[in-house]
Chains A and B, each alone.
Chain A
C-alpha cells in the first residue's frame, strides 16, 4: 500500500501510557496516589538528551499533537501544521513530547478514570487541579524519559500558562519558553465566559452534580452549549463575518413564507458543540476551565510579575494575534514588559490575523509560521 501521509508529516504515531506510583501532591492539599499519563513523542532524543521539546496543550487539547493514528485517520494531531519534519517545531532536530494532562479525558488519569479507592469513576470527587500540578506531573514525566532540561517548553493559551509556570518552578530545567496567545492571569470577563460555560453543563439534568457516569448518563447538551460559548469567543467578529456573514443554511425571509430560518453560523456552532460533546468529558471541561481561572502567575510573588520572572533562567518568545480578544495582545504585552523589567531575553511579535484566539492553531499563516520557525531553528540542541 502506498504511503498515504504527506511528506512533511511525522506519519504514523502511537500513544504510550506511563504509570506513576509515587503520590503526586496537589496544590489543593490532596494527593493522587497512583496516576497515569498518556504521551506521544515525535523525533529522536539525541545522545546528550538536549533536544527535547515539551508541548503543553490548551483547554480542549490532548497528547495527539501531530501525525496520524492510523492510515485511515481523517485528521492529524491538533498542531500537526506546526510539528513535523521541516516545520516550525522541526522533528528532524527536536524530540517532541506531547502529553494529555492530568484531569484530561483522553487516557490520562482524570474525572472519568476509576478511583482505586472506590472502584468507581472519580466524577465530582476528582481533585481540583491547578496549572502547577500539571507542571509538576510533567516534570515527573521528564524524569522518567531521562530529560533533565527541555530545549523548549511550548504552548498556546492555557498551554502557555504551563510553560510560564515551568520557567518559574523549574528554572534550571528550561532553556526556552514559547508563550503563544496567553496571559499572566484571566480578566473578569474571561472568567465570566468560563463560568457561563460551566453553568451550562451543571444545569443539564443529566449532570448529576458531576456523577453522571455513576448514573449512566451524560450531560451532552450542557457540554455542547458550553463548547458553543467557548468556541465563539475563540473566533473574531471579523473572522466570523468573513466566513459566515448572514448566510442562511435553510429557510428564507421571503414574504408569505414561514419555513424555519437557520443561519450558517447557528448550524456551524451547533455542529461544533455536538461533535465536542461526544468526545470530551464534562468534568474535565469544568476542571480545565477552573485551572484557567485560578492561574495567576505572580500570586505567590507578591503579585509582582517582575519579581516572578526574575526566577526564570530561560529565553522567551511571546506571540499574540491582533484579532484575539479573549487573550488580547495587551495581555501578551504585559508579559513582555515584565520580562524586560526582569532583564530576561525576549522576542515579541504581534501577528496580524483575523482568526481570533484560535489563530495559534490555524495553518498557513505565513508570518506566524516563519517567525515561530526562525526562533525554534536558533535553539541550540
Chain B
C-alpha cells in the first residue's frame, strides 16, 4: 500500500461519502472502499486512468476539474480528496475553496517543491528539477503550479482555511528529520483541512 494512501485512510471516517478529485487509476478509492466501506466517486480526465478505474469497479466520472465543480452541491460529501493533483490545476486557490464548499473536510496532498533535492538541482545545475518523483521537463510538465510547504500554509492562512492535521513524508515515510524541517526534507505533504468555523 502506498505510504500517502495509508496516511490518508486515517483521516477518513468509515461509511462516509468521499469524492476523489483527480482519482488516477482509482487505487485510493478502491482501498478506502475495501477498508472503510466508504461510498466514493472519482473524477478523472485521463482515458487510460478511467479504464483502470472501471477495471477495479471504482465509480469514476469523466470531467475536467479546471472547468469547475459547480455540478457538486454544497456539503454533498463528507471528504473531498485531491491527491498529488493541486499543482496541476489552473486555479489551485479556487479549487481549495470549492473542495471545502462541497465537503465537510478536505484532504490535499502535493509534492514539496522546496525539498532539498529540488533546491540542489536548481541551485547547482541552474535547471528546473527533474527527478524520479517529478519526471517532467519544464515544457511538458502537467505541474504548472508548484508550491512549497510554506507556500501552501500561507495560502491556507490567507484563505481562512483551518489545518486540522498534517503529515510530511519522504520516500521512506516519516522521520524526526523530516518532521523537524519539513520544507527541506519532506517530499510529500498531506493536509487535512476544514473551514474555520
On whether the beta carbons of A340 and B61 are closer than 8 Å, the reply is: yes
On whether the beta carbons of A378 and B57 are closer than 8 Å, the reply is: yes
On whether the beta carbons of B51 and A347 are closer than 8 Å, the reply is: no
Q: Which of A333, A343, A375 contacts B71 (CB 8 A)?
A: A333
- Contact pattern, B 47-62, Cβ under 8 Å of A = 1, otherwise 0: 1001101110101111
On whether the beta carbons of A346 and B61 are closer than 8 Å, the reply is: yes
Contact flag A371-B51 (CB < 8 Å), given A340-B41, A341-B73: yes
CB distance from A308 to the nearest CB of B (A): 17
Instruction: Tell me the nearest residue of chain B to A348, going by C-beta.
Output: B61
CA distance A281 to B61 in the complex (A): 40
Residues in A with CB closer than 8 Å to B50 are 347, 349, 371
Q: Does B39 contact A (CB under 8 A)?
A: yes
Categorize the interface residue count of chain B: 10 to 19
| Chain B contact residues, majority secondary structure | mixed
Q: Does A190 contact B (CB under 8 A)?
A: no
Instruction: Count A-B pairs with CB separation below 8 Å.
Output: 42
Residues in A with CB closer than 8 Å to B180 are none
Contact flag A370-B39 (CB < 8 Å), given A340-B61, A341-B73, A341-B76: no
Q: Does B17 contact A (CB under 8 A)?
A: yes
Residues in B with CB closer than 8 Å to A341 are 73, 76
On whether the beta carbons of B71 and A337 are closer than 8 Å, the reply is: yes
Q: Which of A345, A350, A370, A378 contacts B62 (CB 8 A)?
A: A350
CA distance A350 to B61 in the complex (A): 9
Residues in A with CB closer than 8 Å to B57 are 378
CA distance A348 to B57 in the complex (A): 12
Residues in A with CB closer than 8 Å to B60 are 347-348
Q: Does A243 contact B (CB under 8 A)?
A: no
Among A336, A374, A375, chain B packs the most CB atoms within 10 A around the CB of A374
Q: Does A249 contact B (CB under 8 A)?
A: no
Contact flag A374-B61 (CB < 8 Å), given A333-B71, A341-B73: no
CB distance from A89 to the nearest CB of B (A): 15
Residues in A with CB closer than 8 Å to B51 are 370-371, 374
Residues in B with CB closer than 8 Å to A30 are none
Categorize the interface residue count of chain A: 10 to 19
On whether the beta carbons of B76 and A375 are closer than 8 Å, the reply is: no
- Contact pattern, B 61-76, Cβ under 8 Å of A = 1, otherwise 0: 1110000000111001
CA distance A350 to B53 in the complex (A): 15
Q: Which of A337, A349, A367, A378 contacts B55 (CB 8 A)?
A: A378
CA distance A343 to B41 in the complex (A): 10
CA distance A371 to B72 in the complex (A): 25
- Contact pattern, A 322-351, Cβ under 8 Å of B = 1, otherwise 0: 000000000001001100110101111110
Which chain B residues (34-54) contact chain A, with CB distance < 8 Å?
Answer: 39, 41, 47, 50-51, 53-54
CB distance from A340 to the nearest CB of B (A): 6
- Contact pattern, B 3-33, Cβ under 8 Å of A = 1, otherwise 0: 0000000000000010000000000000000
CA distance A134 to B59 in the complex (A): 29
Contact flag A374-B54 (CB < 8 Å), given A340-B41, A347-B60, A349-B62: yes
CA distance A346 to B55 in the complex (A): 13
Instruction: Tell me the nearest residue of chain A to B54, going by C-beta.
Output: A374
CB distance from B66 to the nearest CB of A (A): 15
- B positions within 8 Å CB-CB of A: 17, 39, 41, 47, 50-51, 53-55, 57, 59-63, 71-73, 76
- A positions within 8 Å CB-CB of B: 333, 336-337, 340-341, 343, 345-350, 367, 370-371, 374-375, 378
- 9 closest A-B pairs (Cβ-Cβ)? A374-B54, A348-B61, A337-B71, A350-B62, A349-B62, A345-B59, A375-B54, A374-B55, A378-B57
16 intermolecular pairs with C-beta atoms under 8 Å apart = A336-B61, A340-B61, A346-B61, A347-B53, A347-B59, A347-B61, A348-B60, A348-B61, A348-B63, A349-B47, A349-B50, A349-B62, A367-B47, A374-B54, A375-B54, A378-B55
